[in-house]
Amino acid sequence: MGVLQGKHIVLGISGSIAAYKAASLTRLLVKAGAEVQIVITPAGKEFITPITLSALSSRPVISEFFSGRDGTWNSHVDIGLWADAMVIAPATAATIGKMAHGVADNMLITTYLSMKAPVFVAPAMDLDMAAHPSTLDNLELLAQRGNYIIESQSGELASHLVGKGRMEEPEVIVSILEDYFTESLDFEGRRVLITAGPTHEAIDPVRFIGNHSSGRMGIALADEFARRGAEVSLVLGPSSLKPSERVELISVTTAEEMLAACQERIGTAHLAIFAAAVADYRPRYSSATKIKREGEDCLELELVQNPDIAATLGAAKEPWQYFMGFALESDAGVEEAKRKMQRKHLDAIVLNSLQDAGAGFAHPTNKVTLFDREGAIEAYELKTKEAVAHDIADFVAKRLDA
Ligand code: CTP
């Protein structure tokens, strides 16, 4: 029996040519044993008929707030509680915009706003709409709020233009749902502490020493472990990105604040991942007022070392705890990463080499190799940081249970 057997899936359909694929998606879900409740927008009905969909799902299709026949109210709240997952496929630019901004002018959006289960969004639109900053911002906002975006693919579009915007194939959407339900709670009952982002060390009230870390890798890890059932605390340096609402977020600025926040929480953490790019040095003195340029040819800053958070906590690690670090190396990567793992008393380390194009800071992608103390080595391809987080969680899952 498959993992979708008996699962309640709400399938939201909005008005795109790709709505025809919703028919095969419904069929595949039903074949896998799921119960499918379809909610369609008025524009969606222009592309595919409710008769086809209700025949395939063996349930009435919901589209209006009130049933036209007898005036019964369709309760979006009840649907939100019934569902184990909601999939919006196809999700048009308009639907994505309404989801991001709470424009509840149809049944699909009211259902979405009342949804208690995880939501998967499969965009479908023309390439210029897919690339528009408003679409990208709305999708980013939805991802930050914990929705899963099923990226559209490149190919020929309804306009006959070729580019990104094709809805992902129904088979792939079903396998993403299967993966979600398979591994959904393998970290349940675990407490996870993650550091992420840069730290900023004040020179004066307006200037600081910092680095280009975006925090994205650590945020992706926090979201991944939270999705898989862990209780996650994320100690995040200054970053414009945010984790999903399932993650406890502790925002800090300096390395010393990051260490203090970690020390408060490490005692109960089963797993700690140090993904932050901590500034190794801070100014010995930070001026209380803005340092003036006038009359000064040179400015000397005296720097003192910051605490090493991973090494400090690693030195007091309990046998039941599993600690993982990151190593960003420009050369002699493997040996140096292994040395760092030993020096900081870590159980495993993630190496990302600065020599790999697309890896490391300020990229949405990363290419990593994982090592552990037992000598295991796993090298991965260049992937999105979200996909890398998935690989890292799989790597840890095997070892926590061992
Ligand atoms: N780290 C930390 N606190 C620091 C410095 C690093 O917790 N003050 C952690 C990082 O989060 C990472 C690991 O230690 O998990 C390695 O970080 P990296 O900057 O590569 O190592 P450093 O010890 O700073 O060595 P170097 O900069 O000399 O390569």
Give the max Cα distance, the chain. Answer: 83
Same domain, 171 and 198: no
CA-309 nearest atom, ligand 1: 7
Same domain, 86 and 200: no
Above 70 in pLDDT, residue 85? Answer: yes
pLDDT on residue 72: 67
Same domain, 31 and 121: yes
Same domain, 336 and 273: yes
pLDDT on residue 276: 98
Same domain, 174 and 195: no
CA–CA distance, 140 with 134 (Å, rounded to integer): 10
CB 101 within 8 A of CB 145: no
Rg of the chain's alpha carbons, rounded to an integer? Answer: 24
Position 1 in a domain: no
pLDDT on residue 332: 64
Count up the domains in the chain and report the number: 2
Same domain, 161 and 229: no
Q: What does residue 381 show for φ and ψ, rounded to 5 degrees?
A: -75, 170
Q: Which residue's alpha carbon is at the smallest distance from atom 21 of ligand 1?
A: 327
Beta strands in 244-373 (DSSP E): 248-251, 271-274, 281-283, 303-305, 322-329, 348-353, 365-366, 368-372
Same domain, 58 and 195: no
Position 352 in a domain: yes
CATH of the domain at 34: 3.40.50.1950
pLDDT on residue 75: 80
Neighbours of 167 (CB within 10 A): 25
CA of 199 to the centre of ligand 1 (A): 12
Q: 146 falls in which pLDDT band (50, 70, 90)? A: confident
Single residue among 133, 152, 183 that ends a domain in this structure: 183
Position 32 in a domain: yes
Above 60 in pLDDT, residue 261? Answer: yes
CB 72 within 8 A of CB 66: yes
CA–CA distance, 260 with 251 (Å, rounded to integer): 12
Above 70 in pLDDT, residue 71? Answer: no
Position 367 in a domain: yes
pLDDT on residue 279: 97
Same domain, 60 and 172: yes
Query: What pLDDT, in 10s, does the model give residues 371-392?
Result: 999 988 998 888 878 889 989 9
Any idea what DSSP says for residue 267? G
Any idea what DSSP says for residue 33? T
- Would you state the structure tokens that stand for residue 86, as one six-digit string? 């909601």
Same domain, 151 and 22: yes
Position 3 in a domain: no
Least confident of 161-165, 351-355, 375-379: 351-355
Above 70 in pLDDT, residue 120? Answer: yes
Above 70 in pLDDT, residue 69? Answer: no
- Would you state the structure tokens that stand for residue 234, as one six-digit string? 């994320």
CATH of the domain at 368: 3.40.50.10300
Angle subtended by helix axes 216-227 and 385-401, to nearest 10: 50
Give the DSSP per-residue string, 312-341.
HHHTT--TT-EEEEEEEESSSHHHHHHHHH
Least confident of 51-55, 264-268, 313-317, 366-370: 366-370
Q: Which residue's alpha carbon is at the smallest distance from atom 8 of ligand 1?
A: 308
Q: What are the angstrom distances between the C-alpha of 198 and each of 257, 307, 402?
A: 12, 14, 33
Average pLDDT over residues 15-27: 97
Query: What mean pLDDT is reported for the chain?
Result: 91
Query: CA torsion sign, 264 to 267 to 269 to 274?
Result: positive
Which residues, judged by CB distance below 6 Å to any ligand atom, belong to the binding site of ligand 1?
195, 255, 274, 276, 278, 280, 306, 308-310, 325-328, 340, 344
Percent of the chain scored above 90 by pLDDT? 69
Q: Which of 344, 354, 368, 371 to mutate to test the pocket of ligand 1 (most atoms within 8 A of CB)?
A: 344
Q: Look up the domain containing 47 and give its range.
A: 8-183
Query: What pLDDT, in 10s, does the model give residues 178-226?
Result: 988 887 778 999 999 999 999 999 999 999 999 999 999 999 999 899 9
Same domain, 279 and 138: no
Single residue among 162, 183, 204 that ends a domain in this structure: 183
pLDDT on residue 179: 87
Position 2 in a domain: no
- Would you state the structure tokens that stand for residue 259, as one six-digit string? 């260490």
Single residue among 155, 183, 211 that ends a domain in this structure: 183
Same domain, 210 and 294: yes
Same domain, 199 and 134: no
pLDDT on residue 331: 63
- Would you state the structure tokens that stand for residue 376, as one six-digit string? 């295991």
CA-307 nearest atom, ligand 1: 8
Cβ burial of 133 (10 Å; 0-12, 13-18, 19+) is exposed
- Annotated catalytic sites, by residue? 211
Average pLDDT over residues 398-402: 78
